[in-house]
Structure formats: structure tokens, C-alpha cells
Structure 1
Amino acid sequence: MIDTKGRSLELFYIDGHPDGMITAELFNWTGHVFVTPRTRLTEALRREEAGYAGVYLLLGEKDGQDFAYIGEAEDLGVRLKQHAAASDKDWWETAVLVSASANRLNKAHVKYLEARLIVMAREIGHTPLHNGNSPKPPGLTEADIAKMEAFLASLMVVLPAIRVDMFIQRSRPAGSTNAVPPQQTVSVNSLNSDPVAEFTLKYPKYEIEAHAVLQDGEFIVLTGSRLYASWQGKEGTGYHPLREELERGGVIKPEGQFAVFVKDYAFSSPSAAASIIYGRPANGQESWHEIRSGVTYKEWENRQLDALPVEDAEA
């Protein structure tokens, strides 16, 4: 069961702007996250938490794509100074330090967190890692494993809030949504009655038909949806990097004269989904049509807004 309870997150911009040093903490969580640009590293390492035990992420770009390194240390500041001096890590621009209040994490804890984060990052596959082999987690007691897994669960809430999305799992097993799988043709009578909005996108010239659902605020393209065989827009721009990521991650695979989704995938918007399917920039507000009514996504959205009670719309 998904935990739908709200969480209270506090972000503190230490130097007054969002691109500088930031601390992030969740209410009722012992963890502490500290973000610093490399250009502020000297100041950052003077802070108390920089001397704590913890795990860290080095983030940047290499060869035109996002790149990262995940590590652990008993003294985060000492380790980051070593990385700053290393010639093979000139690519990183941001460091994320994860520790606990009162320096409560020990060596075994941080080794466990490091091992789990590396496995998670590689399974999701958004961001290539500079790390070599995946380390094995140390032997912890059952109680300590439970504590570290709870620590990780809270950390996964904090990281997206500070624009670290390498651990967000957007691909889903086939059939994970509350909707029928896409077919060549879909009968309205075959659709289930769950409160999930369903959409279709058709490109008859190339025998392309895709299906998606809007569920829990996510626009999810379903397994079996067809898309253009290759990217037709300008290389390296728009959603081309995402197309390459989906191919690398095995979310889409070639099938004859087109390609096909072999996993459900949650996109950030209808336009992102439409662009991937067309192989070029596209307006998803007009490309997708709600299955039951046949109206465009934009028209469907406007109907939802018009249906709001006046007092809700004015709130």
C-alpha cells in the first residue's frame, strides 16, 4: 500500500539563493541533507556536518550527459577534499552530503547506505555512475537494516525536492496501472470503471497508436504503445536525451517498422510523452484524446476545471 500521508520538508537556503548551499530536513527524521556547489566547497567544508559520517553524491556532466558518483566516508569533508584534488573527477559540479543529526551514523550504516544507493541508481538507470563494482552491503542486525531502509525511504522524499531525480523510478511493470492494456483498437465498452482518465494518440500514416492514463497525477504511457522508430528532431535537443535513456533502460524496443513500449512509463507531461512517440517536438495538449469523449487533452482538462464548484475555483 502506498503511503499517502503528507510530509513536512524544510529547505534552508544558506546563502539566500537556490543555486547556493542548501540544507534539507524532514520533520521527525534524524537525517540531514546538505547541498553545495563545487564553487562553494571551501565554505561548505567549514560546516559542522561536513565532518560527520555519511554518504555523498557527486553530480555533474560528462560527455554531454548527467553523471554521478556515490560514496561513503567517516569524515565527509576529508573525502570531498580528496575528490576535489583527484584528476579523474573534474566533471562534478555539485556535492550532496547525507548524514544524521548528532553524527549518529556509524561506518557500517554508511557502507550499507552507499551499497543500497548504488544498486538503486543502477537499477533505475537514469544517470550513469563513475563507480566501479557495486560494493556488498555489510552485515547488519535485522533491526539496523530496518532503520537504514526507513532512513532511505525518507531520503527518497528529500532528494527530488533538491532536484536530484536519479532515484525516481518512472518505468513500471506492464499492467501496473488501473487501465486496460493498449490494443490495435480499443472498445469503449471494454474499459474498466475505475476513476482513471484514459487517452489515446494515433499516427495512422505510420501505424502508430499509443495509450496512456492520468493516474495519481502521473501521465503514464502503457506497455504495448507504439512510437516512431527513431528520433526525427535535432540530435541532443528537446526530448532526444530522454529517448536515448528509454532505449538504454529497455523501456522501449524496436519492433519492425516502429518501436514499442515494453514497460509502462510515467512522463512529466502529455507533451513529453507525445514528443517521444512522434520522435520530434509535439504538443501533447492537442495530440492526446480522451478515449470516452474523443476530445483533446486540453479540452478534457478544461472540462474538469469548469466542473469545479465556484467556491473551489475561487479558493
Structure 2
Amino acid sequence: MINQGRSLELFFIDGRPDGMLTAEVFNWTGHVLRVPRTQIIDGLARPEAGHTGVYVLIGEREGEALAYIGEAEDMRSRLKEHVIRKDWWEYAVLVTSASNNLHKAHVKYLESRLVEIARNVSATPLENGNTPPRSSLSEAAISNMEGFLETLMMVLPAIRVDMFLQKSRSPDIKNGGSASDPVGLEFEFSMPRHGLKATAILSSGELIVKAGSEARAAWIGDRKNNTHYFKLYDELVTSGVLIDHGQHRKFTKDYAFSSPSAAAAIVAGRSANGRTCWQLKSDGRTYAEWEEALIAAANGTEP
């Protein structure tokens, strides 16, 4: 099935990209409001803050990412409590219905599912205790809520909420790929000196390192200047995506990276140029050489 494009409308309420914003999708009943804690008074004054919905608090505690997921019939009152009792969160994301037609059972179901998804992804620890039980809904209502969630999972990463974004996935392989249709092209990254090898598939603009691929046993790179990659390596170890495997670590599942260099850094345990580290399994060309040839072919010229 071909994925269809979707149109997302973002409204920056005060004209600043780091300020309050709303997000809506055509033909979707949901409404999302993101509010920095520094603007929480203004955010709680908005009409949607008084609606029934679910919310996510996002921030850090002692330098580590942390989130809390909740639901309320009056989110304004609930968030006022969190302002007093929780000092770690930096911004809140409120999810409601534009027409305020979500009721208590709906939002309890959504809360439970969001906690389930966040814990399955394991990108951000939750302050929540046990996963709340799903509310009892009719078969039709469950279908509606799952459809609501599907669109919400597209909206949240667009407003920089990545904690629900599943990076462990199976590649969309289609006949092994080709130069003109690269989906499914297979790349390898080997470090003979250290006896490790990783394999990855290009799929939907991501490089998916395959389960069974090896990575260095520990991060040996600069932790100060490569904070993002070091934290990602640590997260993958903590979540069980990377496990001990003799002298190395091993990927337990397929994992998607947004760039070849991010994938290479995790495999190498340090910053690495993924465009030269990854090589086509079919002919040994580097990712950079393959990419340049692809661009040249599109322009009708030789590389």
C-alpha cells in the first residue's frame, strides 16, 4: 500500500517557533497545544485547556530526560496541580478534540495506550507508576480511538515530541533495491581490526541497521562534543536494543537511523562519517559514491 501525504497545520501563537503552538490535521478531530512552562499561565487561559483530554509533561531531572502522561476532564485544574507539585518539566503537550467531544472513557483509553507506546519505544523514562488499565469501550469506540492515535503519532514528532516514535521496525524491502529505486539497498560497515560487522537496509529515507549486526562494546568517543550520539548509544543499551555479545554488542532488533553517520557512530562507538563507512554490499561503493552517482543520473550527467 502506498503511503499518502498528509497536511499538518501549525500555528505559532506568539509568532515564535519555541513558544506556544497548536497543531491540527485536515479531517482529524484532534487538537494539540504545546506550551512551554514559562508560558503556562497564558496556556491555561486558552479554551482548550478546560477540555477533557490527555497531556504529556516533558523535561529533565538530574540531566536525564523524563516525561509524565496523564488525563483529565478539566486539564486546566490538573495542570495547575502539576505546576506546584512537579518542578522538573519544561513544557506540556495537551491533546484534546477540537469540538470537546472526548469523554472520560476515551481519554483513559488514550492515556493507557500512550503509556504503553512510550514504554515500548523506551526513548524517554516515565514518571508514571504502573501502566493504567484501558477503559472499557465499545468495538467502534476503540477503532475510533486507535484512528485518533494513528494521526497523533504523526503530529507529535512534527512538534519535537519524539518519545513515541518507534525506531525499531522492519525495513520495507522491495526486490533488493536498485540505483533508480533505492528502497531495500543493502549496505555493510565492517571494522576488521576489531572483528565486527553491521548490515543496514535503506528504507523510506532511513538507514535501518539489521538485527544481529555488531557494534563496539562501549562508547569510546568524545562524550562532550558528541553528546547526542553518546546518549543515543546509552539509550540503546538501556532499552535492550544493544546487548552484550562476547567482545562486542549486538543489535537485538532492526533499528532505524535518520542518517548514515548516526548509524555508523553507534556501530563504531564514536563519531564516524557514515557516507564513507557504509559500503554497498553489491559492489563495494561507499554510500557517498552511490549517492553522487544517483544525483548524477538524475541530472543526466556522469559522476
Q: Normalization by structure 1: what TM-score?
A: 0.90
Shift in Å, 1:177: 5.0
Q: How far does the alpha carbon of each residue in 1:246-279 deviate from its partner, in whole angstroms, 9 at most, with x for none?
A: 1121111111111111211101111011111111
- Corresponding residue number in structure 2 for 1:112: 109
For 1:73 and 1:263, locate their aligned partners in 2 and report how far apart those are by CA, in whole Å: 36
Q: What amino acid is the match of 1:9?
A: L
Aligned-residue Cα RMSD (Å) equals 1.8
Cα offsets for 1:212-257 (capped at 9, x unmatched)? 1111111001111111111102346241111111112111111111
Find the counterpart in structure 2 of residue 246 from structure 1: 236
| Per-residue deviation, residues 134-176 of structure 1 (Å, max 9, x unmatched) | 1101111111111111110110111011010111111136xx5
Q: Distance in 2 between matches of 1:165 and 1:35?
A: 14
Given residue 196 of structure 2, which amino acid in structure 1 is its aligned partner?
Answer: I
Residue 136 of structure 2: aligned partner: 139
| Residue aligning to 1:188 | none
**Structure 1 pair 193–102 and aligned structure 2 pair: CA distance change class (3 A):** closer
- Post-superposition CA distance 1:162-213 (Å, at most 9, x none): 010111111136xx5538xxxxxxxxxxx95675221111100110111111
CA distance in 1, matches of 2:177, 2:134: 45
- Unpaired runs of 5+ residues, structure 2, are none
State percent identity of aligned pairs. 53
Q: Is the 8 A contact 1:199 1:212 kept in 2?
A: yes
Deviations along 1:34-81, one digit per CA (max 9) or x if unpaired, are 001000011111111111000000000112221100000001111111
- The answer to whether the aligner puts 1:44 opposite 2:43 as a matched pair is yes
Cα deviation, residue 291, structure 1: 1.7
What TM-score do the two structures reach when normalised by structure 2?
0.93
1:238, 1:281 within 8 Å by CA — same for their partners in 2? Answer: no
- Structure 1 window deviating more from structure 2 (245-254 vs 193-202): it is 193-202
Structure 1: unaligned runs, 5 residues or longer: 180-190, 311-315
SS in 2 for 1:93: strand
Distance 1:178 1:223 in 2: 15
Distance 1:193 1:92, change over 3 A: closer
Q: In the aligned structure 2, how far is the partner of 1:67 from the partner of 1:160? A: 16
C-alpha distance in structure 1 between counterparts of 2:152 and 2:244, whole Å: 36
Letter in 2 for 1:178: I
Amino acid paired to 1:69:
Y
Matched ranges for 1:126-275 at <5 A? 126-172=123-169, 178=173, 192=176, 195-235=183-223, 237-275=227-265
